[in-house]
Amino acid sequence: MQPLNRLSFGNDFLWGVAIAAAQNEGAWNKDGRGPSIWDNFAKRNGKIKGGARPTENCDFYYRYKDDLLLAKALGFNVFRFSFSWSRIFPEGTGRVNKEGVLFYHRLIDECLQLGLIPFVTLYHWDLPQALQHEGGWTSVMMLKWFSKYASFCAEEFGYKVKHWLILNEPMGFTSLGYMMGKHAPGKTGLDNFFPAIHNAVLAQAEGGRIIRKLVNNAIIGTTFSCSEVNPFTEKKEDIAAARRIDILLNRLFIEPALGRNYPHDDFPLMDKLHLQTKAWKFTERMAFDFDFIGLQNYFAVTVKHNSIIPYIQASEVKAVKRNVPVTALGWEVNAESFYRMLKRFWNYGSIKQIMVTENGACYKDVVENGRVNDEQRIHYFQQYLGALLKAKKEGVNISGYLAWTLMDNFEWSEGFAARFGLIHVDFKTQLRTIKESGYWWRSFLNS
């Protein structure tokens, strides 16, 4: 492998780290914050590995100054974080929590003082529990609630923050939270999934319009998870299964944003979605001309036909059974697949710019003699950055790369066991230890 050179990406290429409020802040009931769906979900037995709860996490709420200094010391110039909706609106709407607003002002000010460009995500999976009681993302009121929240944030912080991300991975929170029940709020079934999809599609576009109207010189994006979907065999049944899963994982949210409506392609599940949208409002408002889209890629997926599985008639063939490299979570490591996904999204033709807003790997890190040797993670980043550079040199307009994540945190249903950070966190003492991958980034970004 050719040694990577930061300058090969261009002097204006943005390098950063990403975190999320629900995964990092902690202080779940401090200074007026209301509960989120993850606070409630974590109380249900068996939902989070190890019985973990996002009560303290890595204590970012109180340690943000030190953590920002670490991000700066590693050489990054972008810091992506999210607002906790329930820290600003404890009941989801109505009353504003001034202490929560002041916290985000302090956080933004500290970023600017350190020369870190703040990238703010409006929604990173932590809906106020008060709104979930009224139906959450399935409610006909969702667009109204989200619009008021987005408008407040734009008016309150827009003179300081110019880079905005509307939603984080809508396929993630709608499928895992409102179809499969594996994530908060733990709902299941198409009657929850379909309205959650539609409301998220509308929210990502309406949020963009609100920021455009209220924030001068705003640079607006939203993020999509993506995974190359491969058939297990060349049988037509497996190929058809892969196409169905591809619609869900890669096309369901980007195509409405681009003005192409929901994908169809002879998929009965999409037939049902199209039939329902005929009765829904605002289908003409699903599109928005984003300044960039954020792509988030962690693994490729291989699937085969499975007639037992309802709706999708497909099941995954796990990477560990196919003798391919995997992370500690069993996710396939495939940098060439990442390259192909960058090219594929760019080939839509109507995307102005792509930013990799998350990418990283979980490994079983161990602290020994005050150091964390995570050579596998370093190798992962080298492979994926090499693939990104290849796509960029072939004409894909990629503006930046944000590593997931600055420090180990609350990894949703995986609890505290799954570690993605460049910095190791001892969750009992809150001691931070820079991993070898963090030092690698410092060397790379200072080269």
Task: State yes or no: is 368 an active-site residue.
Answer: no
- Degrees (nearest 5) of the Cα angle 223, 264, 141? 55
Tens digits of residue pLDDT in 63-85: 999 999 999 999 999 999 999 99
Q: For position 442, what pLDDT does the model report?
A: 98
Q: Beta partners for 82?
A: 121
Number of structural domains, the chain?
A: 1
Q: For position 275, what pLDDT does the model report?
A: 85
Kindly report the number of other CB atoms within 10 A of residue 250's CB atom.
22
In a domain, 1, yes or no: no
Q: What is the CATH number of the domain that holds 103?
A: 3.20.20.80
Both tokens of 257, joined, read: 């944003």
Which residue ranges of the chain lie beneath pLDDT 70? 1-2, 279-282
Q: For position 350, what pLDDT does the model report?
A: 96
350 class by beta-carbon count within 10 Å (0-12 exposed, 13-18 middle, 19+ buried): exposed
Task: State yes or no: is 134 an active-site residue.
Answer: no
**Contacts by residues 418-425 (CB-CB < 8 Å, ≥ 24 positions apart):** 418/328, 418/329, 418/362, 419/328, 419/362, 419/363, 419/364, 419/365, 420/360, 420/361, 420/362, 422/17, 422/74, 423/70, 424/365, 424/367, 424/372, 425/58
* Rg over CA atoms, the chain: 21
Rounded Cα gap, residues 261 and 258, in angstroms: 8
Start-to-end C-alpha separation, the chain: 17
Rounded Cα gap, residues 309 and 9, in angstroms: 44
Q: For position 281, what pLDDT does the model report?
A: 64
Kindly report the number of other CB atoms within 10 A of residue 6's CB atom.
16
CB 31 within 8 A of CB 96: no
The type of residue at 16 is G
Q: For position 194, what pLDDT does the model report?
A: 96
Q: For position 47, what pLDDT does the model report?
A: 96
Q: Of 169, 206, 255, 411, which residue is the catalytic one? A: 169
In a domain, 176, yes or no: yes
Q: Of 25, 228, 332, 358, which residue is the catalytic one? A: 358
Question: Which of 277, 252, 254 has its CA nearest to residue 265?
Answer: 252
In a domain, 312, yes or no: yes
Residues spanned by the domain of 282? 6-445
